[in-house]
């Protein structure tokens, strides 16, 4: 596994002091409301009035299915007229929402001050396909909770978000996803001194995840061995809280946890995956031509082996990091 500029989170008293405001809540999906009723240590929410019977589940949604590329990719700088890609090239830059706090994926390299990581390099491949240059990108660093709002902003939206984003049916109602470029699954990171062996051993314990993610919602929904979910702004906040003993574990996609473990070798991954987390690049829902273009870039990278090489260079070798085959709806 590659180790670029490995850095420890607790590097100074200033950083440690910032943790005082890092815990947003013990909560569900967005990290803004009260904790879920019935969870250990949670505030009981008022009982809700009975609502209408739920409609049957929508079985027509197949979240991994994206829009099929159409023909060969156009030459860089020569996008078809009246397309989203032509408008981006005319503007002169691709506007992208990215993370700067997920080591190995999207992070600020302390040695260079530049954004780096697997997803940043994947974005540069898309820039190269558009412009013939990997550096025609306007980066906008965002939190997990901002991934959909920055795409749907009515005034100044980004073109694309690549930020360890799980593809699911609910999110398809707000954005359009590329094909699945990486499969992950939720696991748990704990201190090496912990005796826990899986999420089941953490009942009643404080388990941290970023707000606005499927990970925090999964923690909220656990009923057999309920934990106390702690929602924060960024994944590095979770690691800092665990180092300070304020939470007992961090839980999210194992791909992100690998980066946190690389930052702090006094931690360990435990237990098997307990969710399926296909990852997609998100775009504006009315720009299907751009989704097809991005899928064309991903398909070319699958076929020439560059997607596999990119994933394994950053994340390690083995079956766990082999890019999944694309699935299309048309």
Are residue 88 and residue 168 in the same domain, yes or no?
Answer: yes
Are residue 85 and residue 164 in the same domain, yes or no?
Answer: yes
Are residue 215 and residue 133 in the same domain, yes or no?
Answer: no
Structural domain including 234 reads 22-29+184-277
| Residue 325 domain flag | no
The reported pLDDT for the residue numbered 282 is: 98
**Each residue of 77-93: pLDDT tens digit?**
999 999 999 999 999 99
CATH number at residue 188: 3.40.190.10
Task: Among 13-22, 127-136, 157-166, 222-231, name the one with the lowest average pLDDT.
Answer: 13-22
Are residue 264 and residue 148 in the same domain, yes or no?
Answer: no
Domain count, the chain: 2
Output the pTM of the full model: 0.80
How far apart CA 208 and CA 252 sit, in angstroms, is 9
Max mean pLDDT range (1-10, 15-24, 255-264, 286-295): 286-295
The reported pLDDT for the residue numbered 318 is: 66
Task: Among 30-39, 129-138, 193-202, name the one with the lowest average pLDDT.
Answer: 30-39
Does residue 33 surpass a pLDDT of 50? Answer: no
Does residue 140 surpass a pLDDT of 90? Answer: yes
| Residue 328 domain flag | no
Does residue 321 surpass a pLDDT of 90? Answer: no
């Amino acid at each position: 596994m590659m180790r670029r500029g490995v850095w420890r989170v607790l590097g100074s008293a200033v950083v440690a002091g910032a943790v005082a405001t890092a815990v947003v809540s013990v909560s569900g999906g967005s990290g803004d409301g009260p904790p879920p009723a019935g969870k250990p240590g949670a505030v009981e929410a008022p009982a809700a009035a009975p609502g209408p019977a739920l409609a049957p589940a929508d079985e027509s949604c197949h979240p991994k299915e994206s829009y099929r590329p159409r023909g060969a990719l156009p030459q860089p700088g020569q996008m078809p007229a009246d397309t989203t890609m032509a408008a981006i090239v005319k503007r002169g830059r691709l506007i992208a929402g990215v993370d700067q706090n997920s080591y190995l994926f999207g992070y600020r390299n302390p040695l260079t001050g530049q954004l780096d990581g697997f997803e940043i390099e994947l974005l540069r491949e898309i820039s190269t396909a558009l412009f013939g240059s990997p550096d025609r990108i306007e980066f906008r660093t965002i939190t997990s909770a901002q991934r959909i709002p920055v795409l749907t902003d009515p005034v100044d939206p980004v073109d694309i978000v690549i930020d360890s984003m799980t593809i699911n049916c609910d999110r398809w109602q707000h954005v359009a996803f590329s094909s699945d470029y990486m499969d992950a699954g939720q696991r748990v990171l704990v201190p090496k001194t912990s005796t826990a062996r899986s999420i089941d051993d953490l009942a009643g314990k404080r388990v941290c995840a970023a707000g606005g993610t499927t990970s925090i919602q999964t923690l909220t929904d656990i009923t057999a061995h309920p934990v106390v979910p702690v929602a924060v702004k960024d994944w590095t906040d979770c690691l800092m809280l665990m180092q300070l003993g304020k939470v007992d574990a961090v839980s999210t996609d194992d791909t992100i946890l690998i980066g946190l473990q690389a930052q702090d070798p006094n931690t360990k991954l435990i237990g098997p995956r307990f969710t399926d987390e296909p990852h997609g690049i998100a775009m504006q829902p009315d720009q299907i031509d751009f989704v097809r273009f991005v899928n064309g870039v991903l398909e070319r990278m699958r076929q020439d082996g560059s997607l596999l090489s990119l994933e394994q260079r950053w994340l390690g070798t083995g079956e766990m990091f082999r890019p999944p085959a694309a699935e299309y709806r048309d």
